[in-house]
Amino acid sequence: MSLTDFLSSRWEDILAVSWWHLRLSLMAVGLALGIGLPLGIVSHMNRVAAALVLNTVSVIYTVPTLALFGLMIPLLGIGVIPAIVAVVLYSLLPVVQNTYTGLANIDPNLREVAIGMGMGRFTRLFRVELPLALPVIFAGLRVAVVNAIGMVTLASLIAAGGLGDFIFRGISIMSWNLVLAGSVPVLAMALGADYLLKRAEQRLSRSREVAMP
């Protein structure tokens, strides 16, 4: 069967699996953002926390992705939950690191101005520092999303579904149609997400430049 015939006969299945793959990726990145953003803020505020948190997420990031999924099996079994946990853990480094870096690199003079205006620590954080750090945070989010879309491909190895089902089934039976049916949507989603987040990052950077004196 030609690739065109295969795609025309299986497009509904491919679309459904692609949607599930995207949902898994976005759920994992959303959780990573919800965990990593506060950890980055705490790391910025406390040097001891910074050393502990940054070293921990760096060590997790060095674990091979396949091994990380394998480690989830004795801990959480198989299925969606261990897959999401693995992707969340792997996505923490770019979110935490960029949040910390974005806050640390803010011009100290701007902080002095905010303090001179009578802003407290948390008011200054949410009204001045985080808005200025957003472009850098978005850069980390961009890396996390692209990594997650690729990493969720391996989630099929622990029965979480996704486009990896097509890829690994295609490899096992030597069907390049199946391999392409799984690979092309992953590539398209990664490139699309990277483009959209890059545009958002550029807009935030331009807004920051306009706001800067």
| Segment 5-60, tens digit of pLDDT | 777 777 888 899 999 999 999 999 999 999 999 999 999 988 899 999 999 999 99
State the pLDDT at residue 88.
95
Do residues 103 and 133 make contact, with C-beta atoms less than 8 angstroms apart? yes
| Segment 143-177, tens digit of pLDDT | 999 999 999 999 998 989 899 999 999 899 888 88
**3-class DSSP state of 117:** coil
Give the burial class of 23: count Cβ atoms within 10 A of its Cβ; 0-12 exposed, 13-18 middle, 19 or more buried. Answer: middle
| Segment 90-109, tens digit of pLDDT | 999 999 999 999 998 887 78
Q: 55 φ, ψ to 5°?
A: -65, -40
